[in-house]
Structure 1
Amino acid sequence: MPKGLSLFFVLLFSLAVHAENWPGEQWSPGPSVAGPALRTFENYAFPPRNDTTRQGVRTDALLVIRDGQLVFERYAGPTTAATPHLTWSISKSLMATVLGVAYGEGRFNLQDPVAKFYPPLKKHPDMTMADLLHWASGLDWQEDYEYAPLKSSVVAMLYTRGHRDMAAFTVDQDAYAAPGQVFRYSSGDSSLLSAALKGIVGPARYADYPWTALFEPLGIRHAVWETDATGVFVASSYAYLTARDLARVGLLMARDGRWGERQLLPKDWVAFNREPFARYHARQDDAVPGGHWWLNRDVEGAPRPWPDAPADTFAALGHWGQAMYVIPSENLVIVRYGDDRDDSYQHNQLLKLALKAFGGKVQP
């Protein structure tokens, strides 16, 4: 074989080996996985389901993407591959991703005062976009759910006196600390980010912006996002996506904000999302807060929240067991929707079993 032709085939083979898989209209299937590790993974996620007591691990959807290909998918209950499932607080990470597109368009920076985009926050002029993304607004907030509804700020915001204008309700909360100094998980902070986005992109673009900026470029066709009575997206809770569509957001984040040949999110934005909040103290929450994402990082000598998963694992998490895990070092994205009503489901256990069944990168 002529030397030039030989070099051509070497280059062609090299490109084939290093080619990335990206979903088209559908996810392409990856190499089949079988064996006892897969059965153990499946048995943990899908034990016998009792819809009367609603106890135990109750998985609605479970999907695994490895190296950009679909290698596992199963549904239960009323959920199917075509069901836009309520994501609950995964919506917060989705809002951070939408904001990342606006950041890449040069519309704001992390140190901008939020009042620049949402004027009612002029009473808190030092609060920045980064403060809200770290859940560090300094506004007093009680993130209690159905087990303590009478003192819950989030229940009041979503369902009673704050539901018509959620950002305005949040602004009216008393300050308990200076902005940026203390982590306190708050759905109200996410509501303020959503209201700020309206000022960032302008009212004319706002209603379509999550679709034009993020969903459509990723090929997401069936997203639903509820608004309050003022037309502001309920960024804390009420985005609905199919498991397959949510996995596209995970793959975008796993690949540092790049989708195919397009850098949809700036790399420094993704790095910010994945960097622990500097003033977070160990064990304040079940995972370490980044920029509206959750991280598997050790803080102040405390062990990682999910010790059986790599340190680069990060996640979008929601009430009742909603979870999207991204593990860049393993080229894995895992979407899990659930209807868990107790503490039976454990993030670390699912991640441990998933890594045994699907771990080990296929591509460099």
Structure 2
Amino acid sequence: MNSRRSIVLAGSGALLGAATATAASASASASASASADWPAADPAGQNMPGEALGQVLLDACRSVPALRGIVVVRNGALAGERCYAGASANDLLPVNSATKSVCSMLVGQALAQGKIRSLGDTVADLLPEPARLAPDAPAAQVTLRQILTGTTGLAYDWRTQTAALIDAADAAAFVLGLPRDSEAPGSWSYNDAAVSLLTPILERAHGMPIADVARRDLFTPLGIDHFSWRSDKSGHATAYMGLALRTRDLAKLAWTMADGGRWKGVQVVPADWVADSTRRHGPAQWRNPPIADTGYGYLWFTGTLDGRDVAWGWGYGGQFALLVPSLRLVVATAATAPAPKDVGAQTATVARLVQQVVALAAASA
């Protein structure tokens, strides 16, 4: 894939171009101020200690120099927001693998709309044309549920094979060429390649590009007007990474999940899908202290934070869209990607920052 290719969308218009739009140019094209679509609320009115929260957000740039934005939502109200290092509230910032969680929401909608029949459908059912070219491929018998729960049993190492996936002329053919994982068949494995199939699956189901589906069914109902989505060599947006959003728009998506699929009282994502997506279907091998008991739902991580159930979309380097349903709390973060050797430390530092915000909410509950 040409990593500089992107789809940039604003309002109802779409532009497919070879040059990536920078966050600055995207924010400059925004016609409304960031505060107009989701006014800031008095934290105290949402059972959040305003002074203490303000201090945590102020100090965050010292503990996490790579941090670019954080948004705190309580009871559906924007209780806190801060940008760092010259970023603005209108900047489009990469959410990296939290893109997967957004695509999970699209799958839930497609099932409710009857565009996809069942989570038990196989890749051969959902993508008959490419599967016909590789009828004996292990991936052809993988179910949609297995893609969502990370249990495809396909051999893939994100550390060594992501570059090949990005560079593949045909992502579906790449996945159909993967062998079975003989060491851990059926156990949880982080598999960008398998998730990449959600793009052709959703596009075939709807008969339109996935970015247009997202805009129509998910983003527009939430008032998300501006986003960019990186495309692969064939011009299709990638389901496993590549989405860039304002941090407050990432928080909107997270709050919709935290509120049972509703946005301002309107059911946008089916409630049963939200419940299934954010419950543990099995353990996940990755750990993210201070979050414990890490599991996996439908492309959403699950766990506990200081004894409270949480679910989160998680992107490389500390992109979080964390839900704490028992506190009616959401925390969304954006940070610049670190060097691979530093990713664990940076992610843990961002997670501890999120923990501080959750502790403030818990103390005021």
The bucket for the TM-score relative to the shorter chain is 0.7 to 0.9
SS in 2 for 1:359: helix
Aligned to 1:300: none
| Deviation at residue 38 of structure 1 after TM alignment | 4.3
**Aligned length, in residue pairs:** 309
Aligned to 1:167: 172
Residue type of the alignment partner of 1:240: A
1:139 aligns with 2:148: no
SS in 1 for 2:196: helix
1:288 aligns with 2:295: yes
Partners of 2:178 and 2:286 in 1: CA distance: 21
1:358 aligns with 2:355: no
Q: Higher helix fraction: Structure 1 or Structure 2?
A: 2
Root-mean-square deviation (Å): 2.6
SS in 2 for 1:256: coil
Aligned to 1:320: 317
1:224–1:239 Cα contact (<8 Å) kept: yes
User: Against the structure 1 CA distance between its residues 180 and 261, is the aligned structure 2 distance closer, same or farther, given a 3 Å change threshold?
Assistant: farther
Residue type of the alignment partner of 1:26: D
Partners of 1:196 and 1:178 in 2: CA distance: 28
| Deviation at residue 273 of structure 1 after TM alignment | 0.7
Identity %: 25
| Deviation at residue 193 of structure 1 after TM alignment | 1.6
User: Against the structure 1 CA distance between its residues 68 and 239, is the aligned structure 2 distance closer, same or farther, given a 3 Å change threshold?
Assistant: same
1:74 aligns with 2:82: yes
**TM-score, scaled relative to structure 2:** 0.77
| Deviation at residue 327 of structure 1 after TM alignment | 0.9
Residue 255 of structure 2: which of 245, 251, 263 is its match? Answer: 251
SS in 2 for 1:320: coil
Residue type of the alignment partner of 2:328: N
Partners of 1:142 and 1:64 in 2: CA distance: 34
SS in 1 for 2:114: coil
1:114 aligns with 2:123: yes
| Deviation at residue 253 of structure 1 after TM alignment | 0.2
Residue 227 of structure 2: which of 223, 226, 250 is its match? Answer: 223
Aligned to 1:235: 239
Residue 50 of structure 2: which of 18, 21, 34 is its match? Answer: 34
| Deviation at residue 357 of structure 1 after TM alignment | 2.9
**TM-score, scaled relative to structure 1:** 0.77
1:185 aligns with 2:190: yes
Structure 2 unpaired stretches of 5+: 1-33, 44-48, 289-293
1:62 aligns with 2:70: yes
Partners of 2:113 and 2:184 in 1: CA distance: 26
Partners of 2:65 and 2:229 in 1: CA distance: 27
1:176 aligns with 2:181: yes
Partners of 1:217 and 1:68 in 2: CA distance: 15
Larger Rg: 1
User: Against the structure 1 CA distance between its residues 106 and 178, is the aligned structure 2 distance closer, same or farther, given a 3 Å change threshold?
Assistant: farther
Partners of 1:138 and 1:182 in 2: CA distance: 7
1:223–1:241 Cα contact (<8 Å) kept: yes
2:96–2:243 Cα contact (<8 Å) kept: yes
Partners of 1:80 and 1:242 in 2: CA distance: 9
